[in-house]
């Protein structure tokens, strides 16, 4: 097999890694901001259908479809944040599972618009590999800016402890809304690109399986870094390709990995590696001893 | 002189009176102590003042402003900062980053500017970092700026928490057991720092079990027992008050 044939035979897989990385990043945003939301699968569905319907029934082109998806995803996130902003702890997770079920059912029932269970087909394949790389790079860039900004600081404080964040004057409900809108927009971009890359979409692609995938990818990779979400996604998608017997048991493998990781590597791969690196460094350069206060 | 005043404050949890008819004043520029046996309701008072708990009765005033019923973040924005009984820092973030979070109240850049990273945001963050460094210098911890907060000793973590609260530029600072777990030398240093802050005009409330620290640091002391105020006054008068001695030692 020539190099070119080898590469091109893996292009679909590579594309999938890029798209699913975006879904995982939508999940990462939630966790990073201290919101235990499992809504990304729902946002992805909204983005996929918005994009597909836009490109098929209006003549406005792919860019307009992507923009419409972003707007729809962000609005869905904002709407979802309204009732959820007062929920704390594990409760948003349960409520957002409900949200995913609602959007999946809507996609099933709104047949004239969404094609029902058959879904939408013959979507033009406009999202080529370079487009996907550019989209992922843009989102990674956006998130790394946000992480270093005042919004990132507020997210950090909220993730640590809501009470402490409030005691520092941080309006938690406001940042919940920002968080849901961001997660919604990123999830919707992922969905739109999925529709523009895979020719057809059906509602059940975006159900419980995707919800578990997004959470697993982020937990596996590591919750505190952008790279974690991407590495987690790559492992979850590439592993079944490397070991063919795993392919038919994808969901089983995902579930088992989730249990193993949360038990033995609760910080995920990237965060654990970072911690090990830091320990090794601090052995070489120990923390300097305390100096006296001169107040 | 402005003061943070609690006016006949009370709090019931179900059938339990955690705080009963408590009136006290925390004056600007003074260190006020709030002491009492475990379960006396001291932390409850701070939680009510900072809006974490709702009150069952009474009111809270800052100068002429009514704070009762305000949300926790709005109380902070009125210039009332606090620390917690259990140290609450971002363990994985650097000491500097932890303090920078405290400057959130002073953020003027818009949400949009922060999302896309406009230069004004980075200028503002640079100012916050410089001011955080000034706080670190003041507390003699400059060399720990880049250290992970979780790697610090307990006493240093407490100091970082105080610095983060000071980043709000508060007019009142409520310290919940600031020297718990510290040795005498460290406690003495914190005491000096607290008195210095009061000299600069900040009104400080200290909840503390370390009696030597309280007696040396506070100008006025309020004593709670079972949610009720049993004594108040100067350290000298409180320490010989029969009701206080009974509450601490039993009759």
**pLDDT 10s digits, B190-230:** 999 999 999 999 999 999 988 889 999 999 999 999 889 99
What's the CA gap between B158 and B180, in Å, rounded?
9
Q: Which of A278-292, B54-68, B131-145 has the highest mean pLDDT?
A: B131-145
**Contact between B151 and A287 (Cβ < 8 Å):** yes
3-state SS of chain B is CCEEEEEEEEEEECCEEEEEEEEEEEECCCEEEEECCCCCCHHHHHHHHCCCCCCCEEEEEECCEECCCCCHHHHHHCCEEECCCCCCCCCCCEHHHHHHHHHHHHCCCCHHHHHHCCHHHHHHHHHHHHHHHHHHHHCCCHHHCCCEHHHCCHHHHHHHHHHHHHCCCCCEEEEECCCCCCCHHHHHHHHHHHHHHHHCCCEEEEECCCHHHHHHHCCEEEEEECCEEEEEECHHHHHCCHHHHHHHHCC
How many contacts, defined by CB atoms under 8 Å, are there between A and B?
116
Average pLDDT, chain B: 91
Residue with tokens 């940042």: A175
Domain ranges of chain A: 14-294
**Residue B1 predicted with pLDDT over 70:** no
> In Å, how far is A163's CA from the nearest CA of chain B?
7
What's the CA gap between B49 and B70, in Å, rounded?
9
Nearest to A154 by CA among B78, B107, B171: B107
Would you state the CATH architecture of domain A14-294? Orthogonal Bundle (1.10)
> In Å, how far is A171's CA from the nearest CA of chain B?
6
Dihedrals phi, psi of B3, to nearest 5 degrees: -150, 155
Q: Which of A29, A153, A183 to mutate to test the interface with B (most CBs of B within 10 A)?
A: A153
**Residue A7 predicted with pLDDT over 70:** no
By Cβ distance, the residue of B82, B90, B114 closest to A151 is: B114
**Contact between A16 and A237 (Cβ < 8 Å):** yes
DSSP-based three-state secondary structure for A60 = coil
Beta strands B16-27 and B3-13 are antiparallel
Q: Is pLDDT larger for residue B129 or for residue A274?
A: B129
pLDDT of residue A127: 86
pLDDT of residue A293: 46
What's the CA gap between B152 and B160, in Å, rounded?
9
pLDDT, mean of residues A212-218: 92
Cβ contacts of B76 on chain A, cutoff 8 Å:
166-169
> In Å, how far is A129's CA from the nearest CA of chain B?
25
By CB neighbour count within 10 A (0-12 exposed, 13-18 middle, 19+ buried), where does B86 fall?
exposed
Contact B117 A149 (CB under 8 A): yes
What are the tokens at B124? 């503002």
pLDDT, mean of residues A277-295: 60
What's the CA gap between A53 and B89, in Å, rounded?
47
Contact B97 A153 (CB under 8 A): yes
pLDDT, mean of residues A22-32: 96
Cβ contacts of A151 on chain B, cutoff 8 Å:
111, 114-115
DSSP-based three-state secondary structure for A120 = strand
pLDDT, mean of residues B233-239: 90
pLDDT of residue A90: 83
- Condensed to tens digits (0 to 9), the pLDDT of residues A92-136 reads 899 999 999 999 999 999 988 888 888 898 888 988 999 999 999
pLDDT of residue A117: 86
Contact A166 B76 (CB under 8 A): yes
Contact A167 B72 (CB under 8 A): yes
> In Å, how far is A121's CA from the nearest CA of chain B?
35
Contact A168 B105 (CB under 8 A): yes
Provide CB contacts within 8 A for B69, sequence distance 6+. B54
- Condensed to tens digits (0 to 9), the pLDDT of residues A123-180 reads 889 889 999 999 999 999 999 999 999 999 999 999 988 999 999 999 999 999 999 9
Q: Which of B46, B107, B187, B191 to mutate to test the interface with A (most CBs of A within 10 A)?
A: B107
pLDDT of residue A292: 46
pLDDT of residue A284: 63
Q: Is A167's Cβ below 8 Å from some Cβ in B?
A: yes
A285: pLDDT confidence band, cut at 50, 70 and 90?
A: low
Contact B151 A292 (CB under 8 A): no
A19: pLDDT confidence band, cut at 50, 70 and 90?
A: very high
Q: Which value does ipTM take for this structure?
A: 0.90
pLDDT of residue B86: 87
DSSP-based three-state secondary structure for A201 = strand
pLDDT, mean of residues A59-72: 92
Q: Which of B71, B92, B173, B191 to mutate to test the interface with A (most CBs of A within 10 A)?
A: B92
Model confidence, pTM: 0.89
- What is the side-by-side strand order in the sheet with B16-27? B16-27, B3-13, B57-62, B65-66
By Cβ distance, the residue of A142, A170, A178 closest to B104 is: A170
What's the CA gap between A252 and B83, in Å, rounded?
46
What are the tokens at B32? 């006020």
By Cβ distance, the residue of B111, B148, B189 closest to A178 is: B111
Contact B139 A293 (CB under 8 A): yes
pLDDT of residue A192: 97
pLDDT of residue A295: 39
Cβ contacts of B125 on chain A, cutoff 8 Å:
148-150
A4: pLDDT confidence band, cut at 50, 70 and 90?
A: low
Contact A171 B88 (CB under 8 A): no
**Contact between A36 and A89 (Cβ < 8 Å):** yes
Buried b (16+ CB within 10 A) or exposed e, A255-265: eebbeebeeee
pLDDT of residue A287: 53
C-alpha pair distances (Å), A35 with each of A176, A178, A191: 7, 11, 21
What's the CA gap between B150 and B167, in Å, rounded?
20
Q: Is pLDDT larger for residue A245 or for residue B148?
A: B148
Largest CA distance in chain A: 74
């Amino acid at each position: 097999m020539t190099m070119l044939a080898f590469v091109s035979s893996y292009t679909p897989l590579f594309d999938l890694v890029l798209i699913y990385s975006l879904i995982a990043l939508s999940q990462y945003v939630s966790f990073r901001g201290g919101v235990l939301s499992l809504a990304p699968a729902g946002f992805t569905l909204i983005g996929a259908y918005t994009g597909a319907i836009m490109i098929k029934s209006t003549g406005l082109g792919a860019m307009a479809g992507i923009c419409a998806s972003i707007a729809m995803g962000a609005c869905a996130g904002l709407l979802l944040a309204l009732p959820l902003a007062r929920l704390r702890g594990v409760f948003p997770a349960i409520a957002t599972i409900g949200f995913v079920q609602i959007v999946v059912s809507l996609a099933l029932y709104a047949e004239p618009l969404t094609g029902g269970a058959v879904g939408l087909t013959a979507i033009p394949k406009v999202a080529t590999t370079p487009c996907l790389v550019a989209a992922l790079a843009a989102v990674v860039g956006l998130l790394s800016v946000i992480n270093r900004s005042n919004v990132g600081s507020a997210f950090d404080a909220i993730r640590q402890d809501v009470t402490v964040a409030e005691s520092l004057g941080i309006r938690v409900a406001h940042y919940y809304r920002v968080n849901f809108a961001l997660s919604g927009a990123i999830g919707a971009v992922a969905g739109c690109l999925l529709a523009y890359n895979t020719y057809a979409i059906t509602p059940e692609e975006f159900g419980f399986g995707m919800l578990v995938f997004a959470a697993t990818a982020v937990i596996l990779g590591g919750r505190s870094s952008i790279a974690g979400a991407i590495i987690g996604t790559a492992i979850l998608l590439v592993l079944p390709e490397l070991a063919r017997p795993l392919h038919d048991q994808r969901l089983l493998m995902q579930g088992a990995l989730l249990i193993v990781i949360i038990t033995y590597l609760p910080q995920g791969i990237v965060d654990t590696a970072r911690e090990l690196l830091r320990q090794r460094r601090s052995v070489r350069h120990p923390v300097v001893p305390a100096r006296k206060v001169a107040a | 002189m402005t003061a943070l005043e609690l006016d006949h404050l009370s709090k019931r949890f179900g059938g339990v009176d955690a705080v009963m008819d408590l009136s006290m004043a925390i004056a600007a520029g003074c260190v006020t102590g709030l002491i009492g046996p475990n379960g006396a309701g001291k932390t409850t008072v701070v939680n009510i003042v900072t809006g974490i708990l709702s009150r069952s009765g009474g009111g809270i005033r800052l100068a002429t402003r009514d704070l009762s019923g305000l949300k926790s973040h709005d109380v902070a924005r009125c210039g009332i900062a606090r620390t917690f009984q259990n140290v609450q820092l971002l363990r994985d973030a650097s000491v500097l980053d932890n303090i920078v979070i405290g400057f959130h109240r002073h953020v003027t850049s818009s949400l949009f500017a922060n999302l896309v990273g406009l230069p004004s945001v980075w200028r503002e963050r640079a100012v916050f970092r410089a001011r955080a460094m000034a706080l670190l210098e003041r507390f003699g911890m400059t060399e720990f700026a880049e250290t992970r907060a979780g790697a610090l000793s307990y006493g240093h973590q407490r100091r970082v928490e105080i610095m983060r609260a000071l980043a709000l530029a508060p007019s009142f600072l409520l310290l919940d057991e600031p020297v718990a777990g510290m040795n005498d030398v460290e406690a003495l240093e914190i005491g000096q720092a607290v008195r210095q802050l009061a000299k600069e005009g900040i009104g400080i409330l200290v909840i503390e079990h370390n009696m030597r620290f309280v007696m040396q640091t506070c100008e006025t002391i309020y004593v709670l027992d079972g949610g009720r105020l049993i004594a108040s006054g100067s350290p000298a008068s409180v320490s010989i008050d029969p009701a206080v001695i009974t509450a601490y030692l039993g009759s």
